[in-house]
Amino acid sequence: MERTIYFSWFLLLLALLAFGAVVYEAGEIRIAATERASAASQAEQQLDRSAHSQRVSAIAADTKKERDQLDAFAHLDIVRSVQLLEGAGRGAGVNATVTSANAEGDSIDLPGGEQLQTVVFSVVGEGSFANVMHAVELYEHLPLASEVLQLDIERASGAKEQKAAWRMTIRIRVLTIVTGL
């Protein structure tokens, strides 16, 4: 009888050890599965970040020319803005002259010591009606951050019927860069 009791205790001990081994192995499997899931999630996030980075790089490469043009137009100073306005009038066949440039509102400080300033330019020009209208169209579609505020068109005094000269006065608000203030 004593032998059966020891044998029973021995079997119980073996069963508890087997149960402990099963629980330990199940825990190890759960930890390994969690680590694999975490690693897979991190790999997927890394792939997403890499794909996003590649898309941004591709967009930046595809738009480099447009960004350079935008940067060139956004960084026009007052003198170059005047040259552009007068050149647009001349390109339309109108004798255009900027008669005044008035700052409007407060300037905004930009990195690098530059300031963004809104300036209202007054442009006066003369030419045929078709040329004046063409100049107005050019002024409305300038490659600048600009807005036509006011437009006056009138027949120039003393104009002959055969070659009627028209005079325009246009006010244009332009964002310009002011340096060294």
| Cα 76 from Cα 15, distance rounded (Å) | 86
| Cα 66 from Cα 56, distance rounded (Å) | 15
pLDDT in tens, 21-33: 999 999 999 999 9
| Cα 11 from Cα 16, distance rounded (Å) | 9
- List the structure tokens of 102: 């008035």
- Mean pLDDT across the stretch 52-72? 71
- Confidence class of residue 58 from pLDDT cuts 50, 70 and 90? confident
Tally of domains in the chain = 2
54 and 139, same domain (yes or no): no
- What is the rounded average pLDDT for all residues in the chain? 84
The answer as to whether 169 is a domain residue is yes
| pTM listed for this prediction | 0.56
- Residues of the domain holding 121: 76-178
pLDDT of residue 51: 86
pLDDT in tens, 94-115: 999 999 988 888 877 766 677 7
Whether the pLDDT of residue 72 is over 80: the answer is no
The answer as to whether 68 is a domain residue is no
42 and 85, same domain (yes or no): no
| Cα 54 from Cα 48, distance rounded (Å) | 10
- Mean pLDDT across the stretch 114-132? 89
83 and 137, same domain (yes or no): yes
Of 71, 92, 74, give the one whose Cα is nearest residue 140: 92
pLDDT of residue 73: 59
